[in-house]
Chains A and B, each alone.
Chain A
Amino acid sequence: MIKLNNVTSGYMGVNIIKNISLSFEKGKIISIIGKNGCGKTTLLKTASKIIEPFSGDILLNGKNLFDMTSKESAKIISYLPQNRDIPNIRVYDLVMHGRFPYLGFPRIPAYEDKIKVQEALHVLEIEKYKNKNIRELSGGQRQKVYIAMVLAQDTDIVFLDEPTTYLDINHQLEILEIVKDLKKMGKTVVMVIHDLNSALTYSDMVCLMDKGEIKIYDKPQVVYESGKIEEIFNVKCHEVGAYDKYEKQYIFSYMSA
C-alpha cells in the first residue's frame, strides 16, 4: 500500500498539488480524473517518485519512499509517462529495459530476466513483433510494448499516465482490459484518465481532483452520485444501462457556462 500524508508538490517552486492525503490500496484499480491542469499528472509523478514533493511524506508499505534507493523503489513501483520520446529500439530490448532495476554490473541479464521478458511478450501477445523497431509499430501496439516493459519490471504498484490517450476505441478498450488483468495479477494500478466513462466503469476507486486538491475519493458509484463530476467539469452526466457485460455506462452532455 502507498500512502501520501499532506503532500504538496509541483515544479520550479510552484505548488501544483496542495496538502494531498490519500492511500492507494493493494490490488485495486484507481483512476485519477479532473480537468486539464488540475494536478493529476503531478500527483502521479510525485507518488511514483519521478518528482520530489516540496513537503509531506509518501510511505510505501510503511517505509518512506524517498529513503529508498532508486533501484529499491523501482522494484516496487513502475511509472509509464504519457508523453514519451519514441526511442530507436527493438521491441525485445525495450521490454528487457524493464529488468534494469534487477541488473547488477556489468548489466548482463540473467536467465530469470530473460524468462520475465519472454513472459511479458507472451501475455501481451506481442512476441511476433519482438525483433521490430518500435518506430515501425502503431500507437496501440507501442502502448502494449511499454506495458510489457512495465510487466517485466514486475512491480506491485503500476502508475499509468493517460494510457489510452491517442488510441482508437478498440485499442483503448484492449488497454483497459489489460489493466484489469494487471489487477488480477495482484497489482495495484493507479492511472490518470480523461475518459470519464472508462474511469467509472473500470475502476474500483475514483479520485476526482480540482485545482490541486482532491474533491472526492471513493467508489465510482459514490463519486457519480455525489454530483461533483457535473459540478467540476460543467457537464451533465447520465447513467445508462448497457447490453454487454457491464451493468452501467455513462454518457455526458455539454452544459454552457
Chain B
Amino acid sequence: MKAIDTLQKLSIPKSSINYKKAYNFFVISFLLILLIVLIFTSISVGSSSIEISDIFNAISGNGQLTSEYKIINYVRIPRTLSAIIAGSGLAISGLILQSVLNNALASPTIIGVNSGAGLFTALATAFLPANLSIMPLAAFLGAFLATIAVYYVARKTGASRMTIILAGVAVSSLVGAMTDTVLILFPDTVISRTSFIIGGLSGVTMNRLLMPGIIIFISLITTFIFSYDLNVLSLGDQTSKSLGLNVDKTRFLFIILSSLLSGSVISFAGLLGFIGLIVPHISRLIVGYDNRILIPTSVLIGSSFALFCDILARTIFAPYEVPVGIIMSFLGSPFFIYLLLNKKRRLMYD
C-alpha cells in the first residue's frame, strides 16, 4: 500500500476513458443508422412496393387520396412502429431480469409474464368470445398479476434472486394448469389462441399501439434513469446494501418495469419471447455490462432485430407470411452461437 501523503498530487488520466466513449459512440451511431435504414425498408417493402418520395409525402400529409398514402399510414407505419416497440420493450424487459436476477437464462417467461397472459387470454376467449378487442387488456392484466404473485411468494421467502426464479417456476406451473383446464372445458378457445401463442405483428393498428406504446416509452425512460442502480444491484445483495442501495425496493421497481414492458408487448404482439432472452446477451457481447450504455444499445438492437425479422417474415415467401417468431429463432440463434464461440467475448460467461 502506498503512502497516503502522495494522494493530493494525483490527477485524473482521461485517455482510456475516452477510447471507451468513442467506441460506444460509434456503436450507437452505427445502430441508429441501421435502424433508420430498416425503418425506410420496412415501410417501402411489401406486397406493393413504395417509393421513398411517397414515404415523405405520406409523412408530410401530401397526397392523402392515393393508395400509397393509405398503405403507408394504415398498414406500414403501424407495423413498423409495432416492431420497434415490441423489439425494444422485450429486449429491455429481458435485460432487466437478467441483471436483477443475475441469471443468464432469465427472460420475461421466468417471472410468469407469459403464463399469466396466457391464462387471461384463455379466460377472455372462453367467457367473452364476441369481444376480441379485450384480448390485449386481458394479456396485459394477466402478465402483471402473475408478476405480482411471483414477487409476493418470493418476498415471503426472502426475495433472494433464487427464490424469485423458483417462485416464477411454481406460479407459472400453477397458472399453466389453470390455462389447460380452461382449454379443455372450452375447446373453441384453442384456435383463437394459436396466433397469440406464436406471436406476430400483422394487423396491428395505431389505436392498439397507443396505450402499450406510452407504457413502454415511460418504462424505458425510467429504466434508463435508474440504470446505474441496476449496475450496483448486479454486485450482489450484500455489497449493494453496503453501498446504500435499497435492494428490495430497487429490485421490486425493476421487476414491475420488466412486467410492464413485456406485458405491454404481449398485449399487441402475442408471445414473442425470444428477443427478451437473446438481445441483451448480444448487446452485452458488443458493449459490455454497463447498463448505462447497454440499455440504449439493447433498445436499438431489439428494434432493428424485430424490424429485420418482420421484413423477412412478410417478404421471404410473399404473398404468404411466415410468423415472425420463427424467423427470429432461425436468425438469432446461429448469430448468438457465433458470438459465444468468440473466445475473448466468452469470458463474460465463464
Binding site for B on A (CB under 8 A): 12, 45, 48-50, 69-75, 77-81, 84-85, 87-90, 93-94, 97-98, 100-101, 103, 105-107, 111, 114-115, 118-119, 122-125, 130-131, 133, 135-136, 153, 177-178, 181, 184-185
CA distance A221 to B286 in the complex (A): 56
Are A100 and B2 touching (Cβ within 8 A)? no
Chain B neighbourhood of A184, CB < 8 A: 4
Are B350 and A135 touching (Cβ within 8 A)? yes
Are B7 and A135 touching (Cβ within 8 A)? no
Are B236 and A70 touching (Cβ within 8 A)? no
Interface set, chain B 1-44, CB cutoff 8 A to A: 1-2, 4, 6-7, 10-12, 16
Interface: B217 (CB within 8 A): no
Interface set, chain B 221-254, CB cutoff 8 A to A: 225, 228-229, 231-232, 234-236, 238-239, 241-246
Are A97 and B158 touching (Cβ within 8 A)? no
Chain B neighbourhood of A185, CB < 8 A: 4
Chain B neighbourhood of A181, CB < 8 A: 1, 4
Chain A neighbourhood of B228, CB < 8 A: 100, 103, 106-107
Q: Which of B2, B11, B12 is the one whose CB lies under 8 Å from A125?
A: B2
Are A70 and B289 touching (Cβ within 8 A)? no
- Contact flag A88-B242 (CB < 8 Å), given A118-B10, A118-B12, A181-B1: no
Q: Which of B16, B238, B243, B245 is the one whose CB lies under 8 Å from A153?
A: B243
CA distance A130 to B12 in the complex (A): 12
CA distance A136 to B242 in the complex (A): 24
Are A88 and B289 touching (Cβ within 8 A)? yes
CA distance A81 to B350 in the complex (A): 22
Chain B neighbourhood of A77, CB < 8 A: 242
Interface: B132 (CB within 8 A): no
Chain B neighbourhood of A106, CB < 8 A: 225, 228
Chain A neighbourhood of B234, CB < 8 A: 87-89
- Contact flag A88-B10 (CB < 8 Å), given A49-B241, A122-B2: no
Q: How many A-B residue pairs have CB under 8 A?
A: 109
Chain A neighbourhood of B241, CB < 8 A: 49-50, 70, 79
Shortest C-beta distance, A87 to chain B (Å), equals: 5
- Contact flag A122-B10 (CB < 8 Å), given A87-B289, A89-B289, A97-B243: yes
CA distance A23 to B228 in the complex (A): 35
Are A84 and B2 touching (Cβ within 8 A)? no
- Contact flag A135-B4 (CB < 8 Å), given A85-B236, A122-B10: no
Chain A neighbourhood of B347, CB < 8 A: 133, 135-136
CA distance A64 to B158 in the complex (A): 25
Chain B neighbourhood of A80, CB < 8 A: 239, 242
Shortest C-beta distance, A145 to chain B (Å), equals: 12
| In the A-B complex, the 6 residue pairs with the closest CB atoms | A74-B244, A107-B228, A79-B242, A101-B244, A71-B244, A81-B238
CA distance A12 to B163 in the complex (A): 14
Are B235 and A87 touching (Cβ within 8 A)? yes
Shortest C-beta distance, B23 to chain A (Å), equals: 12
Query: Could you list 16 A-B pairs, sorted by A, with CB under 8 Å?
Result: A70-B246, A72-B244, A78-B242, A79-B239, A80-B242, A81-B242, A84-B235, A84-B239, A87-B289, A89-B234, A94-B235, A100-B228, A118-B10, A118-B12, A122-B2, A181-B1
Interface: B102 (CB within 8 A): yes
Interface: B348 (CB within 8 A): yes
Shortest C-beta distance, A119 to chain B (Å), equals: 5
Shortest C-beta distance, B147 to chain A (Å), equals: 24
Chain A neighbourhood of B2, CB < 8 A: 122-125
Chain A neighbourhood of B12, CB < 8 A: 111, 114-115, 118
Residue of A nearest to B234 (CB): A87
Are B236 and A87 touching (Cβ within 8 A)? yes
Shortest C-beta distance, A58 to chain B (Å), equals: 15
Chain B neighbourhood of A105, CB < 8 A: 225
Interface: B290 (CB within 8 A): yes
Shortest C-beta distance, A34 to chain B (Å), equals: 20
Residue of A nearest to B243 (CB): A100
Chain A neighbourhood of B284, CB < 8 A: 88
Q: Which of B1, B236, B244, B245 is the one whose CB lies under 8 Å from A123?
A: B1
CA distance A152 to B224 in the complex (A): 25
Shortest C-beta distance, B286 to chain A (Å), equals: 14
Chain B neighbourhood of A85, CB < 8 A: 102, 235-236
Q: Which of A90, A101, A136 is the one whose CB lies under 8 Å from B243?
A: A101
CA distance A123 to B238 in the complex (A): 25
Shortest C-beta distance, B76 to chain A (Å), equals: 36
Q: Which of A70, A78, A87, A122 is the one whose CB lies under 8 Å from B6?
A: A122
Are B1 and A50 touching (Cβ within 8 A)? no
CA distance A32 to B236 in the complex (A): 24
